[in-house]
Structure 1
């Protein structure tokens, strides 16, 4: 069978490998669709400290169950499914308090073990979610990025009527926008420096947009809030140097959700944080958000097709990566069809 393998940084391609078997406690999934994520690109560029090469990447995927391993119950051959990539031990402190996405022995499908850019993959049955009949496999492949949005919003604890500022209108910023609207938030401002991305944000329901290159974000948000500040800020731009500005924009009792893995230090003005009693939360992966997102897709409150800018066959994986690398302004989500 075919698989997309990253052998070392900048050394990748489609290879022939033996098909895996369904291990005990696992199911074999024939992959239908998989999305290319920014973290896949980080692996390709050698910028992910957790990965060990060679690695078959891909953590956003959906397909059809082809075989069942020993001890698996509740799933059957031909079930249509998507896969939560977060594998946790169930025993460490984070797991014991209900935070398995930061398990001390965390493993992520597509990072620590082979992922969805192969025609068949064996995955833990506990990570497999059956799909309602009205959720297509192409939409289901994009459940995972929406769980990132659902996770950071839960960490920020929105209240009814809260205004939300989203920094960055890439894929994660747009998923935060969509999930926030699905959960009832209506006053949502999106800031980016690329007009096409801001156009996309408006088309998906942003009530306001700001081009950070041409407008003073801090002044705009102060005027919009009558000087009170913004209670919810989601940083999907992940630029450490912007953190002091976010702390100034935040209202007293505001919450700032951080999503970036950048190792560059951010300046933290303690006075700004303490006088406002700000809550600053990190958000990593997702904490059991797949059922919630699948229900939002099934109910029509989310439309994953709005994220997709390109759909390409598996054979054109190399061309897709070149496009993302060299023309990122043209790309939202690239969906790869593997054809299960």
Structure 2
């Protein structure tokens, strides 16, 4: 069968691999669709410290159960499923307190073990979530990025009437925008430096947008809020140099959600944090958010296909990687069709 394999940084290819056999407690999934994520690009560039090569990447995918490993219950051959990539031990401190997404022995499908850019893949049965008929397999492949949005918003603990500022209008920023609207946040500002992305944000319901290369975002936010600042700030740009500005823009008692894995240090002015009693929260992957997102998709409150700019077969994935590397402004979510 065919798979997209990263053999080493900047060394990737479509290759033939053997069909895996479902181990006890696992299911074999025939993949229908998989989305290319920024994390996949980091693996390709050698910027992911967790990956071990060679690796079949892909952690956003959906498909059909083709075989059941010994002891699997609650799933049947032919079931339509999407896959939570978070594999945890269930025993360490984070797992014991209900935070499996930061398990000390965490494995991520598509990073630590082979992922969805192949025709068939084994996954733990517990990570396969059944899909309602109203959610297509193409949309279901995008459940995972919406769980990232759900997780960071949950970590920020919004309350009714809170305003939200999203730095970055890439795919994650847009999923945060849609998720926030689905959760009832009405006043949402999106900042970016690419006009095409800001236009998409407005189409998806942003209250207002700012281009940071043309406007003074800090001054604009202070004018908008009468100097009070913004209570919720989501960092989907993942640029460490933006943190000091976020601290200044945040209102007293504000919450800032950080998503980036950039290893470079950020300047943190302790005075800004303490005088406002700010809360800075990290958000990694998702903490059991798949059922919530699937329900929101089934109800029509999320529109994942609005994010899709390209649908390509697996054989064209190297070209998609090249496009995302050199012309990111031309793409939102690139969806790879692998099966049917």
1:183 is aligned to: 183
Q: How far apart are the structure 2 equivalents of 1:95 and 1:223?
A: 44
Q: How far apart are the structure 2 equivalents of 1:143 and 1:159?
A: 24
1:233 is aligned to: 233
1:60 is aligned to: 60
2:280 is aligned to: 280
Structure 2: unaligned runs, 5 residues or longer: none
1:212 is aligned to: 212
Question: Deviation at 1:337?
Answer: 0.2
CA RMSD for the aligned pairs? 0.5
1:109 is aligned to: 109
Question: SS of the counterpart of 2:242?
Answer: helix
Q: How far apart are the structure 1 equivalents of 2:273 and 2:9?
A: 39
Question: SS of the counterpart of 1:117?
Answer: coil
Q: How far apart are the structure 2 equivalents of 1:129 and 1:144?
A: 11
1:257 is aligned to: 257
Task: Report runs of 4+ in structure 1 exceeding 6 Å deviation.
Answer: none
Question: Deviation at 1:42?
Answer: 0.7
1:136 is aligned to: 136
Question: SS of the counterpart of 2:51?
Answer: coil
1:77 is aligned to: 77
Q: How far apart are the structure 2 equivalents of 1:272 and 1:314?
A: 48
- CA deviation vs aligned residue, 1:153-175 (integer Å, no higher than 9, x gap): 00000000100000000000000
1:154 is aligned to: 154
- CA deviation vs aligned residue, 1:265-314 (integer Å, no higher than 9, x gap): 10110110000000000000000000000000000000100110100011
Question: Deviation at 1:339?
Answer: 1.2
Q: How far apart are the structure 2 equivalents of 1:116 and 1:160?
A: 38
Q: Does 1:173 align with 2:173?
A: yes
Q: Does 1:313 align with 2:305?
A: no
Structure 1: unaligned runs, 5 residues or longer: none
- CA deviation vs aligned residue, 1:171-195 (integer Å, no higher than 9, x gap): 0000000000000001000000111
Question: Deviation at 1:145?
Answer: 0.3
Q: How far apart are the structure 1 equivalents of 2:44 and 2:106?
A: 21
TM-score, scaled to structure 2: 1.00
Question: SS of the counterpart of 1:228?
Answer: coil
2:333 is aligned to: 333
Aligned pair count reads 340
Q: Does 1:298 align with 2:293?
A: no
Question: SS of the counterpart of 1:21?
Answer: coil
1:89 is aligned to: 89
2:48 is aligned to: 48
